[in-house]
Chains A and B, each alone.
Chain A
Amino acid sequence: MAEKYLMKGNEALAEAAIRAGCRIYFGYPITPQTELAAYMAKRMPKIGGVFVQAESEIAAINMVYGAAAAGKRVMTSSSSPGISLKQEGISYLAGSDLPALIVNVQRGGPGLGGIQPSQSDYFQATKGGGHGDYHRIVLTPASVQEMADLTGLAFDLADKYRVPSMILADGTIGQMMEPVEIREEEPHVFEKPWALTGTQMKRPHNVVNSLYLDPEELEQTNIDRFARYAQIEASEARWEEYMMEDAEYCLVAFGIASRVAKNAVVSLRAKGIKAGLIRPITVWPFPKEALAKAADRVKGFLSVELSMGQMIEDVKLATGCRKPVALCSRAGGLIPGPDQIIAAAEELAGGR
C-alpha cells in the first residue's frame, strides 16, 4: 500500500485530477474551494500543464469549453455562487456533447449566502441547472479519499459518455484533512475523433456546436442524448449501504451529511431502533433501484440534508411514496448533529 498523506479534500481532488491526466485547469477564486485552484497554480507549471486564473467564472467555464473541444481532459472548480455563473457554459458543454469536469465545493445560499458548508445546490446539480434538456453525471464524495477516487471516475465517465460531469462536494469535505492514498494509475485514454485539432488536411472539418435552427433536427439531438442518459442511468448509479441488512428505518444522506448519519445509525441501534443508511454516491443518476428495494423492507425513510430539503423529492420519487419519508436538515451552512438526526428518526419510528 502506498503511503498515506494528510491532505485537504480540495488538494486531494486536485492531485487526483492530475494523476487522471488532467493538465488544464481554469478557475476563479472563491471560498471554500480556494486550495484547489492554489494547488493547480503550484503544480501545473511544473508538469507542463496549464493554469489560468480567468477573469470570471463565466470566462473560466468557456475556456473549459474550448479546451474540451480540443479533446483534452480539463476541469474547473468553484463554489455555489460561482457555479451559478458557470451554468451557461455547462449547458453549452452538454449541448455540444463535450466531456469536462466541474467541481462544486458548496456553500450556503441563495444569493451571496455564506461560506459554510451546504448541499443546497442539489437541484441545480441534478436537474439541469442551465437552460435546456440535459443532465450531467454528479458524484458526491463523503471523504477526502473519495475526493481523490471519484475524480478519476468523473473524468472517465465524462469521456465515456461525452457528458460534463460534476463533483458535488461541500465546504467541510473540501476543507478537512484525512489520510489519503492517491493511487498511481495510468490515465484511461479515450478516442476523440470529434476533437478540434485541425483537419491536418486529412479529414473534413469538425464542428463543435449546439445550434440547430431546424426544430426536428434539434429534437433529434435531444432524443439521441437522452438515449445516452438512459444508458448512464442503467449502468452508472452508485451508492453505499450501511447496516441495511435488517434495517427498519432507512436514513438517506450523501456527502458530509452521510458521515453524521452513520454515527446516528450506530447510536439509534444502541437505542434499539434498527436504522440503516443508503448513501448515494451518484445523485445523478440517483440510485433509484436501491431505494425502491429498501422501500419493500423498511418502515420509513429519513432524508438527511444540508438544505431545506431537496434530495427528499428524489427519495419520494424512487420509493413511489410507498413508505413515509421524513426530512432532517439544517440550512445556511449548518450541519444537523447526531442528536437532531436521532430525534428525527425516533419521531419517524414513533408510531411503531
Chain B
Amino acid sequence: MAIVFERPKSLTQAEFHYCPGCTHGIIHRLVAEAIDTLGIEGRTVGVAPVGCAVFAYNYFNCDMIEAAHGRAPAVATGLKRANPESIVFTYQGDGDLASIGTAETVHSATRGENITIIFVNNAIYGMTGGQMAPTSLPGQVTQTSPYGRDTKTAGWPVRISELLATLEGPEYIERVAVNNVKNVNNAKRAIEKAFRNQVEGKGFSLVEVISSCPTNWGMTPKQALQWVDEKMIPYYPLGVYRDKSKGV
C-alpha cells in the first residue's frame, strides 16, 4: 500500500504541547516540509523564541537553540555569520518579534541577513495567558486590555510586513494565513520560498503567518478560524509585500 501522508523527517517524534485548535502545529509542519523538500535538514539550525513556541527545539529534528525573548534574529545573525553554510531560521511569535524584539527584527532585515524568519501573528500573548500583543486588534479584549484595546492609550496594532517592506534590505516578505486549505497551501509555498531564498543566497526572507489562538481568544477552534477571516485578515491583508528578484 502506498504511503500518501506521513510525518516530515524534520520533525522529531515528540508530541506538540500546543492547545487544541492552535495553528502552531500546522505551521511547524509546513516548516518541516520545506526543510525536507529542500533536503537541508543536515545543515539547518533553528532558533526558538520565548512564547508558545519556546519548545520548538524539541520538535524540529535539526540543530536548535533557544534564544532570549525577542533576540532570535540577533542569535540567528551570530549563527549565520559564524557558519555561512548553515541554513538558519527563527520561529517567533508577535510579542517576541514585534514588541520586545522589534529592534532585532528591523535591523536584521535592514542588514539583509541571509536568514529565514517565520513570524506567527495571532494577536495575543499566548504562553503567559492572553495579554495584549503589539498586534492585538483595536477593541480586542485581552487580560491586559479588559475593556478592549483602546488605541488612545494602548496605540495601534503593528503591521510588521508593511513596516519591513519600507526597507531596502529584505529580499522577500509575504503575509499568509493557515485558516483554510487554500491558505495553508499558499503558506506552504511561501515558507518553502523563504527557505529556498536562503539556500540561493538571496537574503532576508520573512513570512508572516496569521494564526489563531482559540484558548486565549475565548473561542472554539472553528470560531477562531472564522475570526481570522472576518477580523484579522481585513486588518492584516495577505499578500507579497516584497519580492526583490521579481521587482516587488
Contacts and interface: CB of A to CB of B under 8 A. Distances in A.
Interface string B1-24: 000000000001000000000000
A68 B78 contact: yes
Contact of B42 (A69, A88, A201): A201
A66 B60 contact: no
B178 interface: no
Given A50-B81, A62-B78, A63-B77, A70 B86 contact: yes
Interface in A55-71: 55-56, 58-60, 62-71
Interface string A167-181: 000000000000000
A74 B79 CA distance: 11
Nearest to B110: A55
Interface string B43-84: 111010000001001101111111110010011111111110
Contacts of A38: none
Contacts of A198: 42-45, 62-63, 83, 85-87
A72 interface: yes
A92 interface: yes
Interface string A198-209: 111110011111
Among A52, A58, A66, A209, which residue has the most Cβ atoms of chain B within 10 A? Answer: A66
Contact of A207 (B43, B64, B85): B64
A71 to B, nearest CB: 8
A200 B62 CA distance: 9
B63 A206 contact: yes
A89 interface: yes
Nearest to B74: A62
Contacts of A62: 67-68, 71, 74-75, 78, 104
Nearest to A92: B68
Contact of A199 (B62, B79, B83): B62
B104 A70 contact: no
B107 interface: yes
Interface string B182-219: 00000000000000000000000000000000000000
B41 A207 contact: no
B103 interface: yes
B80 to A, nearest CB: 8
Contacts of A270: none
A208 B64 contact: yes
B81 A67 contact: yes
Interface residues of A, number: 40
A130 to B, nearest CB: 10
Contacts of B60: 205
A289 B71 CA distance: 41
Contacts of A266: none
A41 interface: no
Contact of A24 (B64, B66, B81, B86): B81
Contacts of A249: none
Given A66-B78, A198-B86, A211 B42 contact: no
Contacts of A206: 63-64
A202 B57 CA distance: 18
Interface in A140-157: none
B137 to A, nearest CB: 28
Contact of A66 (B64, B75, B107): B75
A91 B82 CA distance: 21
B74 A66 contact: yes
Nearest to A63: B78
A158 B64 CA distance: 22
Contact of B107 (A55, A65, A89, A207): A55
Nearest to A194: B63
Contacts of A55: 103-104, 106-107
B78 A70 contact: yes
A284 interface: no
Interface of B: 12, 41-45, 47, 54, 57-58, 60-68, 71, 74-83, 85-87, 103-104, 106-107, 111
Given A72-B82, A209-B66, 4 more contacts: A65-B78, A67-B82, A196-B45, A210-B66
23 contacts: A24-B81, A26-B78, A52-B77, A52-B111, A54-B107, A55-B103, A62-B71, A63-B74, A63-B77, A66-B74, A66-B75, A70-B86, A71-B83, A72-B82, A88-B68, A197-B83, A198-B42, A198-B44, A198-B86, A199-B61, A199-B63, A202-B42, A208-B64
